[in-house]
Amino acid sequence: MYHNPVMLEESITSLEIKEDGVYVDLTFGGGGHSKAILNALGKNGKLLAFDQDLDAIKNRILDDRLLLINQNFKFLKQNLLYHGYQMVDGILADLGVSSYQFDKPERGFSIRHQSKLDMRMNKNGELTASEILNNYSELELAKIFYEYSDLRNSRAIAKLIVNKRNENKIISTQQLNNLLDPVLLKGYENKTLAKIYQALRIEVNNEIEVLKQLLVQLPDILKTGGRASFITYHSVEDRLVKRFIKNGCFGLEPLKDDFGKADLPFKQSFKFKVPSNEEIKNNSRSRSAKLRSAERI
């Protein structure tokens, strides 16, 4: 299976799908969420789905109501306009890495496989994890490890990487895993490694900036009463989604006009939801997932 869709029932329910509505799946992947949206739509409904990974595009669903777009979802608004849609009824994004990408050794996403340090979602992208490890300054490395994975020993990790790359260029996952051994917390080695890989992946794919570029488009393209739902997997992206839903911006306080009034674009549909114990048991990769949803007002 390419990818086991996370919180499938909960996410589809959160969209409150109208049979003749226009919906967007921002992360097509294996097509699990898209298929469920199509099943809820009537014959006049429409689904636009995005994925920048050509491997995901191979999972195309044969349905005339589906338009599959091989682009990054930061280009959402311009693609909607190009295809004749100014506004839509709902948007869904599962922001996690697919099981296929984790399990494909040559993609370099997983700490478990011996492979080149790639981590590009779009295989046509220029920046790889190896290039970051070998070219970023010690300060830049420490910053991404701290900001993208909350690693308290980010400076020690960065210093070790810079020292080791002076001996040999860092090109493989096994090489990176081995050299990091002195800074891995005993008993939490895999968890620490996973956080380091997460930070590198976020930097390679510019994930935080891309998510921001997406979120600021939502007020302009969601119809009144339309729903936007996001499945997040780590605190950095979850914090961005949470604040934007609450405040209409990325700050701790909403933007206000000259009279001190905040024009909030969304209202929270519910605080957040997490996978059931049964889902976590069947799909361990869902354990860190949170579902957030908001209605355009």
**What is the spatial distance between Cα 134 and Cα 55, in angstroms, rounded to a whole number?**
28
Is the model more confident about 110 or about 281? 281
Identify whether residues 176 and 218 lie together within a single domain.
Answer: no
pLDDT at 97: 83
117, part of any domain: no
Entry field: residues in the chain: 297
111, part of any domain: no
Which of the listed residues 161, 184, 204 is the one where a domain comes to its end? 204
Picking from 104, 124, 125, the residue whose alpha carbon sits closest to that of residue 116 is 104
Q: Are 200 and 133 in contact, with CB atoms under 8 Å apart?
A: yes
Identify whether residues 152 and 282 lie together within a single domain.
Answer: no
Q: Domain range for residue 58?
A: 8-99+207-296
Picking from 143, 173, 141, the residue whose alpha carbon sits closest to that of residue 160 is 141
Identify whether residues 35 and 91 lie together within a single domain.
Answer: yes
Number of Cβ within a 10 Å radius of residue 109? 28
Tell me the CATH number at 31.
Answer: 3.40.50.150
**What is the spatial distance between Cα 136 and Cα 272, in angstroms, rounded to a whole number?**
36
Residue 257: pLDDT over 90 = no
Quick: pLDDT tens for 132-187.
Answer: 999 999 999 999 999 999 999 999 999 999 999 999 999 999 999 999 999 998 89
Identify whether residues 275 and 137 lie together within a single domain.
Answer: no
pLDDT confidence band for 3 (50 / 70 / 90): low
Identify whether residues 148 and 276 lie together within a single domain.
Answer: no
Identify whether residues 286 and 267 lie together within a single domain.
Answer: yes
Identify whether residues 31 and 159 lie together within a single domain.
Answer: no
Residue 106: pLDDT over 90 = no
110, part of any domain: no
Q: What is the mean pLDDT of residues 82-100?
A: 92
The bridge status of strand 222-232 relative to strand 66-69 is unpaired
Identify whether residues 227 and 84 lie together within a single domain.
Answer: yes
31's tokens:
């097509």
- Lowest-confidence pick of 158-162, 248-252, 258-262: 258-262
pLDDT at 2: 63
Average of per-residue pLDDT values in the chain: 94
